[in-house]
Amino acid sequence: MGKAAGEDRVRYELAPGAVVAVAGARSQAPQRAYVARADGTVEEISVTAAEDRIDPAGTARRAWRRRCSRVGLGERPFRFSAALGHGYEADTVYDWAGEEYVAACVRATARCVWLRAVTYEEAVSLGVA
């Protein structure tokens, strides 16, 4: 005999304001998050909002990481082909893919540039994060 509708749900009592993040069975990263309301119901919130509620001190750092991630840059330099006379210079920070001041040029030749994401610490020192 099968389960009745809703019998497969687990119920927990949560304090108002408690945040719950849920990851899939084969994932370590949460895909959904919820916050408990004072009336005992739960409201779905974004994973980003959940992170910010759990660790408010890290909000700016995570926002910077997402900004760099949106443009496809990481910590390690990546080589890009460039047209002759491209104008990129090593040790200079550039706008990239619609985001301001996210690309640090670590090397430039006549035909290639190596770019990496500006670190959060660098962004703070530049006054852009």
Look up the domain containing 114 and give its range: 60-129
Verify that 100 and 77 share a domain, yes or no. yes
Verify that 35 and 94 share a domain, yes or no. no
Look at residue 38 and tell me whether its pLDDT is greater than 80: yes
Task: Please state the length of the chain.
Answer: 129
Residues 82 and 58: their CA atoms lie apart, in Å, by: 36
- Mean pLDDT (whole number) for 62-75: 93
Residue 28 carries which DSSP code? S
Verify that 75 and 43 share a domain, yes or no. no
Verify that 29 and 84 share a domain, yes or no. no
- Mean pLDDT (whole number) for 54-71: 94
pLDDT score for 25? 87
- Confidence band of 35 (pLDDT split at 50, 70, 90): very high
Verify that 78 and 128 share a domain, yes or no. yes
How many structural domains comprise the chain? 2
pLDDT score for 6? 56
Distances (CA, A) of 58 to 39, 46, 50, 63, 64: 29, 16, 12, 9, 10
- Mean pLDDT (whole number) for 12-34: 89
pLDDT score for 8? 59
Verify that 72 and 47 share a domain, yes or no. no
Verify that 66 and 30 share a domain, yes or no. no
> Is residue 4 in a domain?
no
Verify that 71 and 120 share a domain, yes or no. yes
> Is residue 123 in a domain?
yes
> Is residue 41 in a domain?
yes
Verify that 115 and 90 share a domain, yes or no. yes
Look at residue 7 and tell me whether its pLDDT is greater than 70: no
pLDDT score for 2? 56
Residues 64 and 70: their CA atoms lie apart, in Å, by: 10
Verify that 44 and 84 share a domain, yes or no. no
Verify that 45 and 67 share a domain, yes or no. no
Average pLDDT, the chain: 91
